[in-house]
Structure 1
Amino acid sequence: MTAVSSDIATTASPIPRPSFHGKARRPLNTYKGKTTTPAPRARILPTIQHEHREIEYHTRKILKSSDPDEQTRYQNLFIWELARHIIGEELVIYPALAKHVDDGQSRADKRRIEHQTIKQQLNACQGLQVTDPRFAPTLEALLDDVEYHFKQEESSDLPALEDELSQADSEALTSLLDRTKMFVPSRSHPLAPSKPPFETAVGLLTAPVDMVADIFRKWPHP
């Protein structure tokens, strides 16, 4: 098995994450009402599954709430999580899939097409106020496509990748994904390229603008 490698620079100072009560840090993981974190040194499959469940949880918090302030806070968190998750997969997971799995390139290409649809829907969602009558149907349509995409990855692509990776290589891929997400945009930019190295270059230019704007957005209370 070949060790995981990457051309993504990891020596630069990380871009600040959203600010909560004066502290620049990642939002609390609170899906199913509990603070949760993946196990240390987790393999890539449970790590991605964990991210998927969090994203779904944030969406349902929006749809179930009748408080516009709470909905807005979870809207921002949902966008922040999903946008970074998508680009992290495109920069880290899909190249690994293409490298290690026999039909991995075709799998990755198919998922990138699904990502493009999700990016366009997410862009529409982030442009709407939660009080807009178009918001709930837009979000529900996005959730349908997101859940289908997640199911395909979890039932087929990621298990195939895991089968080809050692424990150490899978853990290294998890670490690379986590580091990469520190440098990517936190909003949807559907016109940006979706393949390295152009995705990386555009992301490094776009991310600081998104991150500065994140400081002024509302976020769920810890």
Structure 2
Amino acid sequence: MTRISDAIKTDHRQIEACYDKIINSNDPDEQTRWQNQFTWELARHSIGEELVVYPAFETHLPEGKDMANKDRQEHQVVKELLKQFQEMKSSDPKFMSTIRTLMDNLSPHIKEEEEQDLVRLEGALDQAESERMATSFGRTKMFVPSRSHPSAPNKPPFETAVGLLTAPIDHIADIFRKFPDHSISPNPSTK
């Protein structure tokens, strides 16, 4: 079984791989496809962390509330940048600088999360708890919005309610977006 830290790290590598595909491509269609994949991965990952991981910080760690609040603030900056990026065309002169700025903000967050936050959390969880969290994290990502909505609340239960209302709209729109190697949205509920 997968531990929560492994699930989070897997997502981080997928987000970084999408970023690499975008910045290393000169093909506008390919950039658009990877832009949609990047947005889909990062939006779902961020909300999944806010609904599953950050409450676990608050519950299991003495400094968890401060950690969760700091991470939520960092996510807010990333969500605002992602909102700008997801609405750009690959031909926009600011397309590349926007995603680079986004990753300049996201990369230190990822590093701190992997090297400090998740290490502390795993130290407070037993194997079974960590595995249950990983399962919950994966399931949660199936039901959350697939686009950035930075004005939405970022704490449960309000985020959950807003997400349940917003997600179907995002998922329907994803059907009409181009994704790499997919004829329709990568969302498993649309297959």
| TM-score band, normalised by shorter chain | over 0.9
Match of 1:34 in 2: none
The equivalent of 1:118 in structure 2 is 78
Tell me the residue number matched to 1:202: 162
Deviation at 1:60, TM superposition (A): 1.1
State the Cα distance separating 1:152 from its structure 2 match. Answer: 1.0
2:113 corresponds, among 153, 161, 166, to 153
Aligned to 1:37: none
Q: 1:101 aligns with which of 43, 61, 71?
A: 61
Matched, 1:62 2:27: no
Q: Work out which of the residue numbers 42, 46, 68 in structure 1 matches 2:2.
A: 42
Where in structure 1 are there 5+ consecutive unaligned residues? 1-40
Q: Which residue of 2 aligns with 1:163?
A: 123
- Give the distance between the partners of 1:60 and 1:142, measured in 2 at CA: 13
1 CA distance for matches of 2:147 and 2:156? 18
In 2, Cα distance between equivalents of 1:105 and 1:145: 21
Count of residue correspondences = 182
For residues 144 and 53 of structure 1, the distance between their equivalents in structure 2, rounded to whole angstroms, comes to 15
Question: Does residue 1:216 correspond to 2:168, yes or no?
Answer: no
Amino acid of the structure 2 residue aligned with 1:95: P
Q: Which residue of 1 aligns with 2:52?
A: 92
Specify which structure has the higher proportion of helix: 2
Query: 2-side partners of 1:205 and 1:110: how far apart?
Result: 26
CA distance in 2, matches of 1:220, 1:181: 19
| TM-score of the two chains, using structure 2 as the length reference | 0.94
Offset of 1:95 from its aligned partner? Answer: 0.1
* Equivalent in 44, 52, 66 of residue 12 of structure 2: 52
Which string of whole-angstrom CA distances, capped at 9 and with x for unpartnered residues, describes residues 94-131 of structure 1?
A: 00011001101100000000000000000000111011
TM-score scaled by structure 1?
0.81
Corresponding residue for residue 16 of structure 1 = none
Percent of residue pairs identical: 55
Question: For 1:53 and 1:144, how far apart are their aligned partners in 2?
Answer: 15
Which runs of 4 or more aligned residues in structure 1 lie more than 4 Å from their structure 2 counterparts after TM superposition?
none
Note if 1:182 corresponds to 2:120.
Answer: no
Listed one character per residue, the Cα deviations across residues 65-91 of structure 1 (whole Å, up to 9, x for unaligned) are 001111110000000000000000000
What amino acid does structure 2 have at the position aligned with 1:93?
V
